[in-house]
Amino acid sequence: MSPLITPADLAALDGAAVLDVRWRLGGPPGAESYREGHIPGAVFCDMNADLAAPPGPEGRHPLPEAGRFQEAMRRLGVCGSRPVVVYDEADSTAAARAWWMLRYFGHPDVRVLDGGLRAWSAEGRPLATDTPDPAPGDFTARPGGMPVLDAGAAAKLAYDGLLLDARAAERYRGEVEPIDPVAGHIPGAVSAPTGENVDPSGRFHLPEFLRERFNTLGAVPGVDVGTYCGSGVTAAHQVLALEVAGIPAALYVGSWSNWVADPSRPVATG
């Protein structure tokens, strides 16, 4: 089953929990956008409060404890036996984090609305401004459903396999760093900006296109693949794009914000 779902298929899907995961680094707050209009029945899922632990040495968006994530998902009405659909504004950057988190903690049926709210609205589908109060869910969080990397494993994979850097190319090269205290990339990593996974409308490219893209970067049979970004959000988008292409990949959740927390770790530029 594809990890993506179209607006038409979502409209025909009964019984799914729908999570609005709109978020953008630096704002505006996703909750404000949600109140202005959302897919009917969707509940707002907060990137910082629901999909990450507080920032610290582990990174800007570290993994929350299983119990904390379980509590958040149950509050949002997520059940283990019902499908979940997640969406954001358009390009699935934030929605992919929710998709990956639910998969990592063991939910068997999670899909991302391809093209997000923009694709939904472009088809003339309705929006709502109410705030639903879903019945509590029964989702049980069991970590381990998706492969992860720590700093040591990421460093090793950069030489023994393929480690993709999902950030913009200028951040990879170390020319700019607007967020983290050190610029550059993990030595041996390959630049693979997530913006190239989607078309101008925010929809994912076809699986064949993505497969060729990642094959060209070195993701070929027999090569282990991992990915990282600034804090593990856009890297989840990369994992999603790789899955659409039929290529399994591990996520370095702490990503660059965790890597540079230890000044002894090497940094490459260029």
User: Which among 229, 228, 227, 230 is positioned nearest to 179, based on CA atoms?
Assistant: 230
Residue 124: both structure tokens together: 């003339």
3-state DSSP call for residue 31?
helix
CA distance 33 to 101: 22
Crossing angle for the helix pair 234-244 and 207-217, to the nearest 10 degrees: 110
Residue owning tokens 């729908």: 18
**Catalytic residue positions, numbered:** 229
> 113 — phi, psi (to 5°)?
-70, 110
Instruction: Give the pairing type, strands 190-191 and 225-228.
Output: unpaired
Number of H-type helices and E-type strands within the chain: 11, 10
